[in-house]
Every structure is written in C-alpha cells, then in structure tokens.
C-alpha cells in the first residue's frame, strides 16, 4: 500500500515516546517535518525540545533515548542526532522501492487515480461555498478565483474520501430584481405567457438598459418597486418572470462552468432560504442573542467593536422589517448543519469579507448550532490584478467578462502552439487536436497561475508568463506529462497496460531523488486537506517534474528505453509511468486536463 511516510514516522515516534516516557506523555504529529536541506536527511523529528520542557530533561538526552527506542529499520537508516536534539531521518532505497512497487494499476472506472492511497476512515461531509455570482450580471474576472480555488479544494477533499457538496450561493434575490423584472415585462412581454422562451444574448447590456430606465423614468421606478412587493408577496406571475430571468442568467453561468470543467456545482441561491429567515431569527431571539437597536434587530458579539470602540452590530433584520444578507447566511449555515449534516463549512470568498465571516462564525458558535466537531473556515483570497499591478479592467475601465478572458486564453494558447510547431514538423497535429490542446493549455494556464500563488496575496494576471513553457506554469507541467507519455510510445510500451507487479529497483542518485519526490505525494495531499492551500500542490508538481528531468537527462540521469538488462528497463519505465500518473492526478486535483501530445 502506497502510504504517507510522515504519518508512518509519526506513528513510530509516538510509540517510542510512550514506551520511553509513559502513555500520558504529550505527542504532536507536527514534530515530524521534511528536512529543509536534503544533505541532512529526508525528515526530521523536532519533538525533543518541547518534550524537554514537560519532562524537565535535556533535549539531547531525550533525543538519544528516542533514537535508541524508535523502530525504523523497515523505513529508514538509524536516526542521526543533530544540534540540541534534532533527529534526522533518511529513507532507505529498499523502502522507497517497496513503496513504489506497491502502487496498484489505475482503475479505469474510477474518477480519481489515487495511486493506491488509503486515507483515514474518519471522513466528513463538507460544504464548499464557492463562485456565487450575482444573477443580475454576467460573471466577471472577480468570480474566477472563488470558482477555481473552490473546485480544486473540493476535488482534493473528495480525493481524500470526504463527501463534498459544492454550493453556488448565487445572488438571486433583492431589490434590483424588481428593476430587471420590469425591464423584462417592457422589452420581452412574451415572457409573461411563455417564460421558457426567454433568451438574453448579453446580460450585462440588459442590466445597463434596465438601470438606465430605472434612473431616468419615475414611472419605471415606481413599477419596479411594485414588482419587488409582488415578488416578495409571492405573486405567481411575477415569480414566473423572476424564475425565467434566473434560469437564463444561470444558463450564462453554466456555459462558463462547462468551459472550466466544473460539473458538480449545486445552485442554491439566496431565495432558497427566504422562507427560513423568520424562523432562523426567531430561534436566535429565543436564545437571547437578538437585541433591538435603532429599530433594527441585531446580534452583538464580544470582541467586535466599531472605530469608536462601541459594540458593532450584526444586523439580521432591518428597521423596515426586511431581512438582510447576514440573516440569509445564518439560515444557510443552519440548513447546512442540520439538513445536509456537514461537519466542515468552507467559504471561498475574498479577503474584504473577513470581518463578516468572523462575526458569522462567532454568532454560530454562540448559538450552539456548531459543536467542537464542526469546522467553520473562511478561505480568504486576494485580488487578481492586471499585468501593470492595477485592478483588472478593460481598456475603457469597465469590468472584464470572465467568458472573454477565458476565450482570450484559449486563443493565446493556440497562437503559442502554432508558433512552436513548424510547417515541416513531423508531429503535425490535426485541427481538432490543436483545438483540444489549446483549450487544455489556455484554460489550464489560467487555473494554474491562480492556484500557484499564496491565496491571501494579490497576483498579476500576465498571459505571456502564464503561457510560458518554462518555470512553474501549466504549459510546462502539461508538456512534462506529454513528454513522459511519449517515452512509453518510443519504448513500444503501453503505460496503461504495464504490469503493476513489475519490481522497481532504486540505485542511481537520480532514481533515488525521483522516488523520494513521488513518495511525498500522500503527505502533500494530507497537508492540503488540513490547511486548504492548493499552491502546495503546484509547487510539489513542479519539483516532481524537475526531478524527472534529471532522471531522464542522459548526462545526469539514466538510460531508459534502451536500458539493460530488461529488468532495469522495466523498472525505469515503471518509474516513468508512476511519475506520469502522479502528475496527471495532481493536475486533475487542480482542475486541469492533461493531453497526450503537444
């Protein structure tokens, strides 16, 4: 079984600590870490220093005791003591060979190639709140990060065995819909009798025209306000027009989702919780959490103050009796905990909403709805900027439509591919192949560039850099995968049918380095499941591809397709195959499709 080396080391050291210092002695899995410098080993145990404080012993003495007690003979060489009490651990070639040989063949009917990985039996039901556009307008570049990050996090959690529901908390309710309904009635009157006939080519233009009419005509504005009243009171004709508009808006959204290969998103907008708002606020009122302030119903929470140092209210019902987005978010949490049964709620929303989610989570904790077994997480992210470092805008200062941006990326990828392939290239590609490659490279470049950055930092959207075949980019990774697949074709081997029981031997330095990188894959996935940082995976894939390049290099690496004897050739081809599978699996978890030829 392909297992997590850090986890195995942690289990062995936990046993050694308990055997040496008693079952009640504290232990932290975080005491096992990868070595920063491979010259000193592969992993390091850093627990001697914190144990010294609780045991009142010298760290060096604790390290010596544990080095003698820990049983690592089947995993590593004997640990070496360094500094004040660090234990350096170096995996053996035999352990690496056994770990990689144990990787089973890919299951053809499985959505994920887990490479035989086994995760904890304690799985969770997770809700990932992501994307969440406003249906009054078309999706713009501001929705890219939430969509791409949310999808990657959801895939990684599913890969680890958790049940994940991706929720698209769309803005489909509010006063602006009175304006839009009135515009529909004026310019598309047939929608009243035939809602399914509605088709709007440009949502953005439609919104602009509706806003223009609202601002320029008192009659239109009065009818729009009346439409809001009709909508909220449940007037069936108004609801039918509203549903038609929402469905048409969602059609535009899902055209983007289809392009981005996002297929499991559940549309559950603000309107879904409309009938739950009164009961939600009443329950919090009965719990003594809601107070009336200036006519509004509010929740006041410890540690939240305004600039003047006064308590900061979380308004759940306005003075006019209307509920606001805080009430909707509270109702959504209530539904996700009680109906869906989630134990982990992840909100993929930009940094500007940090205070809102901090207050929301504090209110949920105070209400008692979420026990200690429930995790509430705001996965905050920075902004996507233009190549000049300024807010991403069109040349005339407008908002960039996400559809246009993605189409531009695909076209730019097509241009780059055409430039790389000359007219006399033996590997001439068909038109359909070029289009498939352009989509994979262009869309992959946008996603990878987004995910390769630390979530909380802003980053510059630089199409030229994203499409570079050098550095930590999607084109580089896609090319690395395609190159490995071509090695199999050159060797006359179908990697997909390569015997999974062919033994792997690890001898050359480049083989050792590659094997160690492959063996890190389980711990990388476990880290992301815990910390929700997809950039850890992009960095890992880049390092893995560089390790393979050294392995494949004729001067610094080994011979592969013509290696002798045959057992060595098969071993190295299996290393190629497993590397390709790891890259493909990793890219899939980032939401990126691989291609067999470039």
Cα atoms found within 13 Å of the Cα of residue 479, Cβ hemisphere only: 16
Name the DSSP class of 430. P
Given a cut of 90, whether residue 201 has pLDDT beyond it is no
Which DSSP letter does residue 598 get? -
Task: Flag whether pLDDT at 425 surpasses 50.
Answer: no
3-state secondary structure of 342: coil
In contact, 399 and 143? CB cutoff 8 Å = no
pLDDT of residue 499: 85
pLDDT in tens, 507-550: 999 999 999 999 999 999 999 999 999 999 999 999 999 999 99
Q: Which two tokens stand for residue 317?
A: 């019902």
- Segment holding 214, helix H or strand E: helix 203-216
Using pLDDT thresholds of 50, 70 and 90, give the confidence band for residue 317.
Answer: very high
**Greater confidence, 418 or 155?**
155
Q: How far apart are CA 519 and CA 506, in angstroms?
A: 13
CB atoms within 10 A of CB 271: 20
- Residues 352-384: b if buried by 16+ CB within 10 A, e if exposed: eeeebbebbbbbbebbebbeeebebbbbbbbeb
Cα separation values, 313 from 37, 293, 301, 329, Å:
50, 8, 8, 15
**Cβ neighbours of residue 449 under 8 Å, at least 6 residues apart?**
459, 461, 462, 465, 466, 473, 474
**H/E segment holding residue 418:** helix 402-420
In the block, tokens 């550095």 appear at: 471
Q: What is the pLDDT of residue 549?
A: 95
**Cβ atoms < 10 Å from Cβ of 569:** 17
pLDDT at residue number 552: 94
Q: Is the pLDDT of residue 423 over 70?
A: no
pLDDT at residue 563 in the model: 92
Among 60, 57, 76, CA closest to 13: 76
Contact assessment for residue 159 and residue 114, using Cβ atoms and an 8 Å cutoff: yes
Q: Using the predicted structure, report yes or no on whether residue 343 has a pLDDT greater than 60.
A: yes
* pLDDT exceeds 60 at position 1: no
Q: Is residue 177 classed as helix, strand or coil in its secondary structure?
A: helix
Report residue 74: phi and psi, to 5°: -90, 0
Q: Is the peptide bond before 102 cis (omega within 30 degrees of 0)?
A: no
Show the DSSP H helices in 236-394 as ranges: 236-259, 277-286, 325-338, 354-367
pTM beyond 0.95: no
Average pLDDT over residues 375-398: 87
* Per-residue model confidence (pLDDT) at position 421: 67
Render pLDDT for 237-248 as a digit per residue (tens, 0 to 9).
Answer: 999 999 999 999
424 confidence band (pLDDT: 50, 70, 90): very low
Alpha carbon distance, N-terminus to C-terminus of the chain = 33
Average pLDDT across the chain, whole number: 92
Show the domains of the chain with their CATH numbers. 5-91 (3.30.1360.70), 176-262 (no CATH), 274-378 (no CATH), 445-589 (1.10.730.10)
Angstrom distance (rounded) from CA 264 to CA 250: 14
Q: How many CA atoms lie within 13 A of 63 on its CB side?
A: 23
Q: What does the block give as tokens for 506?
A: 């690890």
Contact of 142 with 256, CB cutoff 8 Å: no
Beta-carbon neighbour count of residue 501 at 10 Å? 9
Contacts of 469 (CB under 8 A, 6+ apart): 420, 475, 476, 479
- Report the residue count for the chain: 598
Q: What is the pLDDT of residues 546-592, one digit of tens each?
A: 999 999 998 899 999 999 999 999 999 999 999 999 999 999 999 99
Q: Which residues contact 418 (CB under 8 A, 6 or more apart)?
A: 434
**Cα dist from 160 to 265, 378, 516, whole Å:** 19, 20, 21
The residue-averaged pLDDT of 206-211 equals: 93
């Amino acid at each position: 079984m392909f297992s997590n080396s850090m986890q195995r080391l942690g289990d062995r050291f936990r046993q050694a600590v308990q055997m040496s210092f008693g079952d009640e002695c504290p232990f932290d899995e975080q005491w096992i870490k990868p070595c920063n410098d491979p010259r000193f080993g592969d992993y390091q145990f850093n627990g001697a220093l914190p144990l010294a404080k609780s045991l009142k012993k010298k760290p060096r003495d604790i390290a010596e005791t544990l080095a003698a007690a820990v049983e690592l003979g089947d995993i590593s060489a004997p640990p070496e003591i360094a500094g004040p009490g660090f234990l350096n651990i170096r995996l053996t070639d035999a352990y690496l060979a056994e770990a990689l040989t144990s990787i089973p063949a890919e299951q053809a009917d499985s959505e994920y190639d887990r490479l035989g990985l086994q995760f904890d039996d304690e799985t969770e039901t997770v809700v990932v709140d992501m994307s969440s556009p406003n249906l009054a307008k078309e999706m713009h570049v501001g929705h890219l990060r939430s969509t791409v990050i949310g999808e990657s996090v959801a895939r990684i959690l599913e890969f680890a065995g958790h049940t994940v529901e991706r929720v698209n908390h769309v803005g489909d309710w509010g006063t602006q819909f009175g304006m839009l309904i009135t515009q529909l009635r004026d310019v598309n009157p047939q929608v009243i009798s035939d809602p399914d006939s509605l088709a709007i080519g440009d949502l953005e233009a439609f919104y602009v025209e509706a806003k223009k009419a609202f601002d320029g005509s008192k009659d239109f504005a009065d009818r729009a306000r009346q439409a809001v009243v009709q909508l909220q009171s449940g007037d069936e004709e108004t609801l039918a027009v509203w549903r038609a508009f929402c469905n048409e808006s969602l059609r535009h959204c899902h055209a983007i989702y289809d392009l981005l290969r996002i297929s499991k998103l559940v549309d559950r907008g603000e309107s879904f919780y409309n009938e739950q708002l009164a009961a939600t606020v009443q329950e919090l009122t009965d719990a003594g959490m809601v107070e009336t302030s200036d006519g509004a119903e509010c929740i006041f929470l410890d540690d939240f103050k305004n600039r003047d140092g006064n308590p900061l209210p979380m308004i759940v019902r306005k003075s006019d009796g209307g509920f606001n987005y805080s009430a909707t978010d509270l109702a959504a949490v209530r539904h996700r905990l009680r109906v869906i049964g989630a134990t982990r709620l992840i909100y993929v929303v930009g940094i500007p909403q940090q205070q809102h989610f901090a207050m929301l989570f504090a209110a949920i904790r105070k209400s008692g709805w979420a026990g200690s077994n429930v995790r509430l997480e705001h996965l905050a992210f920075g902004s996507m900027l233009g190549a000049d470092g300024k807010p991403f805008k069109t040349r005339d200062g407008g908002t960039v439509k996400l559809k246009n941006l993605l189409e531009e990326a695909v076209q730019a990828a097509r241009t780059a591919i055409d430039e790389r392939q000359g007219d006399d290239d033996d590997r001439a590609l068909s038109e359909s192949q070029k289009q498939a490659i352009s989509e994979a490279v262009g869309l992959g470049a946008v996603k990878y560039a987004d995910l390769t950055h630390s979530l909380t930092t802003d980053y510059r959207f630089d199409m030229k850099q994203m499409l570079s075949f050098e550095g930590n980019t999607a084109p580089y990774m896609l090319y690395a995968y395609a190159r490995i697949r071509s090695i199999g074709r050159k060797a006359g081997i179908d990697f997909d049918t390569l015997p999974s029981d062919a033994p792997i031997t690890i001898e050359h330095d480049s083989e050792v380095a590659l094997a160690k990188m492959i063996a890190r894959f389980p711990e990388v996935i476990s880290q992301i499941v815990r910390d929700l940082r997809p950039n850890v995976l992009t960095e890992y894939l880049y390092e893995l591809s560089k390790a393979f390049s050294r392995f494949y290099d004729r001067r610094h690496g080994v011979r592969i397709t013509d290696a002798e004897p045959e057992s060595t050739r098969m071993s190295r081809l299996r290393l190629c195959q497993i590397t390709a599978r790891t890259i493909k699996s990793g890219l899939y978890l980032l939401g990126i499709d691989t291609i067999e030829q470039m």
